[in-house]
Amino acid sequence: MRLSMEPLAVIETYYSRDSFLYKVLVEHSCRVAEKSLEIARNLTHLAIDLEFIEAAAMLHDIGIFMTRAPSIGCTGEFPYICHGYLGRQLLDDQELDPAFGLVAERHTGVGITLENIVQANLPLPKRDMVPLSLEEKIICCADKYFSKSPKNRDKIMTPQLIIEELAKINTGHAARFAEWVEELHL
């Protein structure tokens, strides 16, 4: 089991450095890593492992190349919603600490419950994919501030805007994010 590694080296196992998708992924992941560190540093009383936060944030979206999202250069076969659990498989294949894979699997949306998966018949393995650890929650939240789509890339998100956007999709999701706003002092 590998506990520490160079995240870019792991990314480069699957992405060619001169591809458009590599640029999209690394730019987004750096933004999420910075935001995650900012959130974690504000929670000084909790002594969060910043090295883990940074590396896990850099790797949370590693599964996107396996999905189909042409606007950001993904030409894989799976629906985009699958990139979290697919990322977990890749990180587990790399024999990283399983905590890295769990961050990837649990970051999509504000986590996806087993009930969500069953009710909406989502193309996902039937298990709860909701952030549980503090690190999983921090990276999931940080991700919500940054879009990868060229249209929304420069949109500046606030916790209130994120809650409003989530409420349009699912009030339960908006409520979960609102709880984390309190818990993580966002």
Binding region for Fe ion (CB under 5 A): 61
CA distance 25 to 7: 12
* Pick 48 or 59: Cβ nearer Fe ion: 59
Specify the residue for token string 């087993």: 114
Instruction: Tell me the closest approach of the beta carbon of residue 134 to Fe ion, in angstroms.
Output: 19
* Pick 3 or 125: Cβ nearer Fe ion: 125
CA distance 160 to 100: 28
* Pick 62 or 184: Cβ nearer Fe ion: 62
Instruction: Tell me the closest approach of the beta carbon of residue 61 to Fe ion, in angstroms.
Output: 4
Instruction: Tell me the closest approach of the beta carbon of residue 45 to Fe ion, in angstroms.
Output: 29
Q: CB nearest Fe ion: which residue?
A: 61
- Tell me how far CA of residue 131 lies from CA of 5, 100, 154, 172, in angstroms: 23, 12, 26, 14
As a whole number of Å, the end-to-end CA separation of the chain is 33
Crossing angle of helices 134-143 and 171-183, in 10° steps, is 120
* Pick 3 or 133: Cβ nearer Fe ion: 133
Instruction: Tell me the closest approach of the beta carbon of residue 28 to Fe ion, in angstroms.
Output: 8
Label residue 73 exposed, middle or buried (CB < 10 Å: 0-12, 13-18, 19+).
middle
Instruction: Tell me the closest approach of the beta carbon of residue 108 to Fe ion, in angstroms.
Output: 6
- Classify 75 as helix, strand or coil: strand
- Classify 69 as helix, strand or coil: strand
